Amino acid sequence: MGGLTAQEWMAVELSLRVAVVATLFSLPFGIGVAYLLARFRFPGRDILNGLVHLPLILPPVVTGYLLLVTFGRRGVVGAWLEQFGIVFAFDWTGAALAAGITAFPLMVRAIRLSIEAVDPGLEAAAATLGASPLRVFATITLPLSLPGIIAGAVLAFAKAMGEFGATITFVSNIPGQTQTLPSAIYALLQVPGAEPQAMRLIVISITVAMGALLLSEVLARRMQRRIAS
């Protein structure tokens, strides 16, 4: 870390902030959508499932453009939010929004699989004892699916750390303001002789991603042992 320039350090710090904010804000929605898809059958369920996974298969540039026309200063939603002082376009908050949307499918899928693995009989037994649906979810479903929730959150964090296409399309690549780690690496690779600086950031990116995945494994195993006991 000591070899990083001030601008490179700002890119690392911004990427961490963007990834954390994107993960924390999308997690409640991820749990809700995953539970809805795992436990209910309703008209339009397949459409909802398709919309959730759409950012995973769309070109990131397309996702970024759709965000720009929707949440940009002249977008339908963006122009309305600007009246309340909320701005996403060309701001780090827009980078967090783009990262959260592109990482959302991975989060939902991991959590959904974990919820589907919970025995519905346990939920039914709790319901027959008089527990409300909300209480069943909070005391049975949520604790038993916690390893998957942790895995989904960490996957989303790692994806948000590496998000590039949608971010640079939506918020550009402004040093100190919207330049995340992938954007900084891309900018350095366009400069002749800047490969060593780019390699430093690449090593940091790999280290953070691997650390997040290892932490996910450790936490998930601890949760599984606690649930089993």
pLDDT of residue 2: 46
pLDDT of residue 228: 67
Per residue in 146-174, pLDDT (tens digit) is: 888 988 999 899 999 989 999 999 998 88
Domains recognised in the chain with CATH numbers: 6-228 (1.10.3720.10)
Better-predicted residue by pLDDT, 209 or 1: 209
> In this structure, what is the dihedral angle of CA atoms 212, 163, 99, 134, given to the nearest 10 degrees?
-40
Per residue in 68-98, pLDDT (tens digit) is: 999 988 888 988 988 888 889 889 999 999 9
Per residue in 29-68, pLDDT (tens digit) is: 999 999 999 998 889 899 999 999 999 899 999 999 999 9
The position carrying tokens 């599984």 is: 224
Burial of 61 (0-12, 13-18, 19+ CB in 10 A): middle
Per residue in 100-157, pLDDT (tens digit) is: 999 999 999 999 999 998 888 888 898 888 888 888 898 889 988 988 898 899 989 9
Better-predicted residue by pLDDT, 101 or 191: 101
pLDDT band at 1 (very low <50, low <70, confident <90, very high): very low
pLDDT band at 229 (very low <50, low <70, confident <90, very high): low
pTM of the prediction? 0.87
